[in-house]
Structure formats: structure tokens, C-alpha cells
Amino acid sequence: MNRDLIKAIVFDLDGTLYVSEPFEQAVWESVSRYAGELLGVTPQEGGSRIRELRQRLTQERGTLQTLAVAIEVLGGTVPEMHRRFAAELEPAHYLVPDPRVKPLVEQLGRRYTSWLVTNNNRTLADKIVTLLGLDGCFERVITINDTWRPKPDQELFDQLLQDLALPPQAVLFVGDRYDIDLRLPEQAGCPVLLTRTIDELVQLTSLLDD
């Protein structure tokens, strides 16, 4: 990573700016109910089937496959999955913001163009951003509702770089899943940072300052 070239940071949201196993479980229970309805089985069986399908698709395709991909293979749709998430899930019941995240994002936002790009839907993303105290911290927030093409998606990535009007070397991508958030950017020449904990995330300022 050549920190002197970086002009913009593109953050992922879920698992990157917060980590919450209870919320992940709530998401899983919701998608299991949807899978169960699609297959005419119980939510528990639906969860088992979608887990097995996702693992098989990941093995066949060689990269981690999202829940959205698995749901579509089962005959569902991404918009319906996210309609259910928005209706059934309340982030405030699960999320406990880490007090280190807001000052980190604010500090970086004063130095770099800061965007948020998430596979979450607009309703939940807005609620989560507010809970984290990050309203107004991002110049642009892109959610699944904007394209209905979840990351990783080449067209979405190309459009991001075009809209930023920066060369790949100037755009740092930060996310918690390499195959989903970072593989395409890195292949295009963007610097990337894989962070799976807030402890790892807060190292970003020192990495950019060293």
C-alpha cells in the first residue's frame, strides 16, 4: 500500500464498521425462514439447505458465495430477501457501537474522500449508520437498492471507480470478506485492507501515517 497515493477510502459496513454475532444470527434466521418457505420445509431445514448450497457453490466457483447468490439459486430474489430483512430486523436490538469507530471515520473523512458501499439494504444501512453515529461521515452511501447487484460485481466496481474519477492506486477498499469486498479491487490494482475486528480496523490510521 502506497499511502501517499491514496485519495479515497471505500468502506464496507457489516462486519467492518461493527461486528455483532447476535445480529448475524438474526439475519441467518430470517434467510432460513425465506429458504424454508421457498422449499416448503421448516425454517431449520431451510437453513440447513441454504448452508449446504452456499458451501457447494463456494467449492464449485472457487470464491465465497453470498446469501444472495444462494437464495437466487433456490428460486428466490434478492429484493424479496432484503424486504424481509428490512421488515423483520431491528439493528438497535443487537448492535453495541464501538466508541473507537466514529472518531476513526471522522478523522479519515477529513483527509480522504470516504464512501460506504454495502450489500445491505437502504433501510437497515441507514439505521446502522445512525446507531454508529456516522450520519454525514460519508460523501456517498451505496446500498443493494441502488443496483440489486451484490458485491462482488464487476460492473458495480467499474462504476465506482468511474464515479470517483480516480486511478485504482488512489482508492483504498476496506472490508471483512476478501472474496466479497476486496478481490475485485485488488485485481484492478487498488490497495485493500482486510479487517475482521474493530481492533484491526482502528489500525488503519497508523497504516496510513507510517
**pLDDT recorded at residue 11:** 98
pLDDT for 206 equals 87
For the segment(s) 3-19+97-209, the CATH number from 3.30.43.10, 3.90.480.20, 3.10.105.10, 3.40.50.1000 is: 3.40.50.1000
Helix, strand, coil content of the chain in percent (nearest 5): 55, 10, 30
pTM of the model: 0.95
Q: Per-domain residue ranges for the chain?
A: 3-19+97-209, 21-93
Q: For residue 124, report the phi and psi dihedrals to the nearest 5 degrees.
A: -70, -40
Q: What is the pLDDT of residue 210?
A: 62
H/E element, 114: strand 113-117
Averaged over successive runs of 10 residues, the pLDDT of the chain (210 residues) comes to 90 97 97 97 97 95 94 96 97 96 96 97 98 97 95 96 96 97 97 96 88
* pLDDT recorded at residue 4: 84
